[in-house]
């Protein structure tokens, strides 16, 4: 079954080095914090945490604006907390719903590739998704970017983090 969804992949930057330097217990605490903040914000936004991916997650939703806002809020809360930066990739498109709880298609692949390409604290999104960016956010055009595994470059925009002093209040966890 083909459905239109917005996908976001989120990834903690430097998690392997952090774990090596600080040990497993602190790494578990950082992951626990990410998951608590993300669960709370996803629930508040009507966004689904589709799957956990070690030190990151895959989000999906029918409301692209909600997915973007959720990702930005979680990124900004984690930035304010100062442990590890979060990066992400966001794309909207038609995909195949697979076995009722997974998705296959171009939009999923592009979101994953954008996440891998993002700098710490940065959310990258496609030009087709930019119309759904909340009014309070200002996307910056980065132009066409090559993506691993894709024939054609993708028109990419960035949502950089807000200053720490203006970051959203941390959701209750």
The per-residue pLDDT for 36 is: 95
Cβ–Cβ < 8 Å for 70, 6 = no
Q: Which two tokens stand for residue 140?
A: 């910056």
Taking only the tens of pLDDT, the chain with its 173 residues reads 888 999 999 999 999 999 999 999 999 999 999 999 999 999 999 999 999 998 999 999 999 999 999 999 999 999 888 789 999 999 999 998 888 778 999 999 999 999 999 999 999 999 999 999 998 899 999 999 999 888 999 999 999 876 434 444 444 43
Q: How many residues does the chain have?
A: 173
What pLDDT is stored for residue 162 in this prediction?
Answer: 61
- By C-alpha distance, which of 133, 149, 172, 148 is closest to 159? 133
First and final C-alpha spacing in the chain: 36
pTM: 0.89
Report d(CA 131, CA 139) in Å as an integer: 10
Report the pLDDT value the prediction gives residue 169, as an integer from 0 to 100. 41
CB atoms within 10 A of CB 63: 15
Q: Are 92 and 129 in contact (CB under 8 A)?
A: yes
CATH 3.20.20.150 fits 2-166, yes or no: no
**Are 93 and 82 contacting, i.e. CB atoms less than 8 angstroms apart?**
no
Strand partners, 155: 144
What pLDDT is attached to residue 167?
41
Tell me which DSSP letter residue 109 carries: H
């Amino acid at each position: 079954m083909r459905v239109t969804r917005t996908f976001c992949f989120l990834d903690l930057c430097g998690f392997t080095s952090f774990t090596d330097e600080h040990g497993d217990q602190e790494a578990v605490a950082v992951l626990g914090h990410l998951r608590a903040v993300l669960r709370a914000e996803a629930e508040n936004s009507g966004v689904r945490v589709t799957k956990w991916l070690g030190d990151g997650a895959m989000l999906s939703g029918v409301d692209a604006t909600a997915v973007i806002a959720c990702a930005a809020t979680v990124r900004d809360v984690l930035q304010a907390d100062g442990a590890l930066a979060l990066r992400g990739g966001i794309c909207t498109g038609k995909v195949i719903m697979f076995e009722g709880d997974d998705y296959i298609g171009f939009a999923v692949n592009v979101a994953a590739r954008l996440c891998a390409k993002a700098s710490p604290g940065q959310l990258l999104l496609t030009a087709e998704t930019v119309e759904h960016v909340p009014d309070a956010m200002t996307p910056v055009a980065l132009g066409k970017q090559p993506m691993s595994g894709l024939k054609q470059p993708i028109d990419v925009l960035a949502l950089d983090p807000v200053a720490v002093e203006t970051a959203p209040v941390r959701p209750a966890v």
